[in-house]
Amino acid sequence: MSGLRLFNTLAKEKEPFTPLSINHVGIYACGPTVYDRIHVGNARPLVLFDILVKLLRYHYKDVTYVRNITDVDDKINKRAMELGMSINSLCETTINDFHDDCVALNVSSPDVEPRATEHISEMIEIIETLLAREHAYETSGHVLFSVLTMPEYGKLSGRSMHEMIAGARVDIAPYKKDPADFVLWKPSTPEQPGWDSPFGRGRPGWHIECSAMAKKYLGEEFDIHAGGLDLIFPHHENEIAQSCCAHNTQYMARYWIHNGYVTVNGEKMSKSAGNFTTVSDALTKHRGEAIRYALMAAHYRAPLDYSDVQVSESKLALDRLYRVAGDASPSLPPSEFIEILDDDLNTPKALAFLHQKVKDFNKGEKQVAGEIKACTELLGLLKYSSKEWFQSEAYKNELSSLEIEQQIEERRIARINKDFLKADDIRQKLASSGIELFDNSDGTSWRRK
Ligand SMILES: [Zn+2]
């Protein structure tokens, strides 16, 4: 038993969390489609669900966290073509980059990270069951799910059928019985990736991938399904339809947890809007742990406005925590802290609690250092020793001391040669890398901002 309460999109309210079995919790999160590097908006669920899983592991002996990789998708085919790469090497490169980004953000690996292409037979099996139960039909080489055969369709998103048809980006293909019907299987041309199936050579629709992988690793009904707000409809609605109709269950997952968007100046960060920062670009300016901190600074269901200033402030906040607890050995997290996280994962309040503890420490309560350290472990922060944190280069592209000294020397020579343009250029470039120069009678000194 835990005091954990989560906002369940299915119930549209905060509910006490009760797992299906006493000691085991199963959680599934939709992972990346590996056609390109992830951006900061994609990183938010990775960080938040990582914290949720850490909290679940604190409360329950046995937690299975499944986060898939979508490695068959038309976006991948298109991108591979643009880059002149094979689909396989694009996927492998992108998966490696994704794992690097996760490590930089202190995001732990899930227990299982299934790939869609390794679960095609499981998908075919569900599609065959849906056909046998007349929840699906074959037409023009496609297999489609028939939404009218499921009266509860739309329950998760709370949309009426009319709204779903109007709001969904469904291409109203002539072979669909109903415009809201969605693809379970589609035919592939010889150049496209495809698998032999009873419905002809083809490839799965996106939604069926998650239904098949969740079932394989967590069962027909499991505890928590998580993802971004933008996945509620149609992706999660369709996962529920497929799984519940194939398995004849009331639920696919009992709790559906959705995180809010990352925004930039109030607008949703997205590939299509072009206002995105990839995690790898962000890491050229900031430390991964500061980005992680920034991503938990707002409540997970609220929008989070991302900016360099906000990440720089997060770095300073982390400095304060490292100064007090960087080298402390963890004691137990105070129950008050657990209660804060148990209340629908209130990370901003949890961070405020830690900074209050820093104040207590500074007033002489030295024993709180171990408590702070224990709390930060649940949040996936303070991974380094204080020495590593304060002395290492702050981020990937940061100049080393030697490089800075070399630049200063070049600038000195430029000034002697009266090449003031070049000298100024060097100062500007150093300034943009966070290095301030101070000219005085003995020469030039410098410091990192
Ligand atoms: Zn999914």
Ligand 1 centre and the CA of 346: distance in Å? 25
355 with 416, same domain: the answer is: no
* pLDDT, average across residues 289-310: 97
367 with 412, same domain: the answer is: no
Ligand 1 centre and the CA of 7: distance in Å? 19
Ligand 1 centre and the CA of 30: distance in Å? 4
Assess contact for 26 and 218: CB atoms under 8 A.
Answer: yes
Assess contact for 260 and 301: CB atoms under 8 A.
Answer: yes
Ligand 1 centre and the CA of 294: distance in Å? 25
Residue 268 is assigned to a structural domain of this protein: no
| pLDDT, tens digit (0-9, with 9 covering 90-100), for 229-257 | 999 999 999 999 999 999 999 999 999 99
Ligand 1 centre and the CA of 32: distance in Å? 9
DSSP 208: H
Ligand 1 centre and the CA of 228: distance in Å? 10
385 phi, psi to nearest 5 deg: -80, 160
Residue 216 to residue 398: CA distance in whole angstroms: 44
Residue 164 confidence (pLDDT): 66
Residue 355 to residue 332: CA distance in whole angstroms: 17
Residue 382 is assigned to a structural domain of this protein: yes
List residues bridging with 26 in a β-sheet: 64
Residue 169 confidence (pLDDT): 53
| pLDDT, tens digit (0-9, with 9 covering 90-100), for 211-234 | 999 999 999 999 999 999 999 999
> How far are the Cα atoms of 130, 133, 158 from residue 150, in angstroms, in the given order?
12, 11, 14
Assess contact for 107 and 222: CB atoms under 8 A.
Answer: no
* Helix, strand or coil, per DSSP, at residue 5: strand
Find all residues with CB under 8 Å of 200, minimum gap 6, and list them: 141, 187
Residue range(s) defining the domain that contains residue 433? 401-448
Kind and range of the H or E element at 206? helix 206-218
61 with 145, same domain: the answer is: yes
Residue 271 is assigned to a structural domain of this protein: no
Ligand 1 centre and the CA of 215: distance in Å? 12
Assess contact for 302 and 259: CB atoms under 8 A.
Answer: no
| CB neighbourhood size of 3 (10 A) | 13
91 with 222, same domain: the answer is: yes
Ligand 1 centre and the CA of 210: distance in Å? 5
| CB neighbourhood size of 280 (10 A) | 15
Residue 226 is assigned to a structural domain of this protein: yes
112 with 248, same domain: the answer is: yes
226 with 362, same domain: the answer is: no
The domain that holds 207 is classified in CATH as 3.40.50.620
Examine the fold and report which residue of 391, 413, 432 is the final residue of a domain before the chain moves on.
391
pLDDT band at residue 440, thresholds of 50, 70 and 90? confident
Residue 166 confidence (pLDDT): 62
Ligand 1 centre and the CA of 402: distance in Å? 48
Q: What is the mean pLDDT of the chain?
A: 94
356 with 222, same domain: the answer is: no
> How far are the Cα atoms of 90, 99, 100, 130, 161 from residue 146, in angstroms, in the given order?
34, 37, 40, 10, 12
58 with 201, same domain: the answer is: yes
45 with 190, same domain: the answer is: yes
Ligand 1 centre and the CA of 355: distance in Å? 36
Residue 151 is assigned to a structural domain of this protein: yes
Ligand 1 centre and the CA of 37: distance in Å? 18
Residue 286 is assigned to a structural domain of this protein: no
With vertex at residue 181, the alpha carbon angle to CA 175 and CA 187, rounded to the nearest 5 degrees, is: 55
Assess contact for 351 and 297: CB atoms under 8 A.
Answer: yes
Ligand 1 centre and the CA of 200: distance in Å? 24
Q: Is the dihedral of CA 175, 179, 185, 190 positive or negative?
A: positive
Residue 128 is assigned to a structural domain of this protein: yes
Structural domains counted in the chain: 3
Start-to-end C-alpha separation, the chain = 48
| pLDDT, tens digit (0-9, with 9 covering 90-100), for 82-114 | 999 999 999 999 999 999 999 999 999 999 999
Residue 221 to residue 227: CA distance in whole angstroms: 17
Ligand 1 centre and the CA of 22: distance in Å? 26
Query: Percent of the chain beyond pLDDT 70?
Result: 95
| pLDDT, tens digit (0-9, with 9 covering 90-100), for 167-192 | 555 556 788 898 889 999 999 999 99
345 with 226, same domain: the answer is: no
Ligand 1 centre and the CA of 347: distance in Å? 25
422 with 382, same domain: the answer is: no
Hey, which bits of 154-204 come out as E strands? 182-187, 202-204
| Pairing state between β 24-29 and 435-440 | unpaired
The domain that holds 370 is classified in CATH as 1.20.120.640
Ligand 1 centre and the CA of 305: distance in Å? 25
Give start and end residues of each alpha helix (H) in 224-333: 237-247, 279-282, 288-295, 308-325
Ligand 1 centre and the CA of 23: distance in Å? 25
On the question of pLDDT at 379 being above 90, the answer is yes
348 with 423, same domain: the answer is: no
Residue 195 is assigned to a structural domain of this protein: yes
* Helix, strand or coil, per DSSP, at residue 241: helix
DSSP 380: T
